[in-house]
Structure 1
Amino acid sequence: MKPSVIFAGTPDFAAAALDAIVAAGFDVPLVLTQPDRPCGRGLKLQPSAVKKAALAHGLTVIQPSTLKTAEAQAVLQEQNADVMVVAAYGLLLPQAVLDIPRYGCLNIHASLLPRWRGAAPIQRAIEAGDQETGVCIMQMDAGLDTGAVISRHIYTINSDDTAAEVHDALMHLGANAIVADLQQITRLQPTAQSETGVTYARKLSKAEAQINWTRPATEIARKIRAFNPVPGAWTVWQDKPLKIWRAQVTSHTGTPGTVLHSNEHELIIACGCGAISIEEVQKAGSKAMPVTAFQAGNTLQQGIVLASAESNA
């Protein structure tokens, strides 16, 4: 008999898992997601991706601001569920909640634990130059991604993968993985995480996304990929932010931040070691565009030196 599943999640990454769980025939008596948030120019309240998916499936949705209250915990108790699946939910689960489901709470985490515990595992893996990442299904405990691992699923990071592309790959990997583990819920054998190799994936900030041109080209190229699509790696041009969405490492050399080559087909900027060839950019107040389109009307002349974020060294 398939277990009944309470589901808790918020963004697209979680919605894919909910869709897969429902498609596999599991009973989902309750879905938890973050409260609707203001979005867009009109700041209208928008439901999360998980709320949209749940309502499309005809599921019951609640949006508590905390799970620490007796009222919220009572609602979960009433479901008499076998297991709770959590994916990018955004709220802490107190021990009282972790203890409610018969088989505890399972988390879909987008890294190969214990590497990259925390908020931004996909971005930090790319930024650090990891050659592989993946998804772990984890038995949750009260710590920050410290629970025992039920299953590990590896993804090889391609040399041109952006965070968006790795996110989408892990989203589908995680959805398939949680369904497979739920199907054998009574036979799962979690393995405690090693305390060796623990790293923390701190939250992203716009400030750290500013490019420090004194850093090596390989490092800058990784940062550009890691911060695509959020918050976007950027530099300063004409006293305004210029986002760089895609770039490749080249063997050119020069003073860091200097435009070495500039024509209608290429834009090459020197770094601390090597250089990068820009492929896609976005100036303030405009949309992202290929460098050929940008160069047609906004040419960065050879010899211009772009501002560098020395504090990001």
Structure 2
Amino acid sequence: MSDEAKAKEFLEKAEKRCKGGNILSFLGGGSSKFDDAASDFTKAGNLFKMSKKWDQAGAAFQRAAECYLKGSSKHDAASSYVSAASCYKKGNVADAITCLKAAIEYYTDEGRFGISAKHQKEIAELYEAEGDLDQACASYQTAADYYDGENSTVSSHQCLLKIALFSAQLERYSKSIEIYEQVAAASLDNNLTQWGCKEYFLRAILCYLASDDVVSAERALQRYRDMQASFNSTRECRLCDDIIKACRNNSVEEFTDAVADFNTISPLDSWKTSILLRVKNTITKESESVV
């Protein structure tokens, strides 16, 4: 008999347990019919996984979770929801998110914010993969709050930086700037994290310029130099200075030369390339308006 056929037998057995009675449970002994059913649903789910029937496996684990909720173990229910989500993630993202949210509800009720943060971040990554940046930002923010409550600063910052990344893509530059400056300020006094400040400062300046606010970019650059003395000698700081001057002079040529010079040694990632293109477009518009 195939694993899939065995799985279906366990499903039928589990459903019968749910509908039928368990005399031991009525007499106060033994496990409840729902715990027994949950066990059979779990066996079915594992067999479906072996057959790579992901949606069916997810549905079986989800049914197990529902039975555990009616039985004696909310902890097992949460674990089953997580198992269901891991199967649904193979194709049914909406159901995966639903199951993760159900698990998170239990974990937060129990004060287990560390594992709640992990699964909330997982939800954010699913939204990100689907291209739903608004929901991804909201989920990363919740995860960041959970991590922050557990004093997991590095993990919290990782989530916040994702929000900054997406906010800039959505042209919500002020939000991106706020996060980059917040994370940079929190990283300055830590030898393990201060190296990243030059990157956060650069990204913040790019956001200022993309929003066509050269004055604020100049002020911010001076503030960043005051915050971290070593920043002044970095290539990131030089790039910021050069492109701010290019924007001041409405010179596309100066801008292009500055970017090309930086890129020869520190190749630009897709995010910076995209934001720099927006900055270049603001210079082009200014040049055209002058003409």
With the length of structure 2 as denominator, give the TM-score of the two structures: 0.27
More strand per residue: 1 or 2? 1
> Which of these two proteins has the greater Rg computed from alpha carbons?
2
More helix per residue: 1 or 2? 2
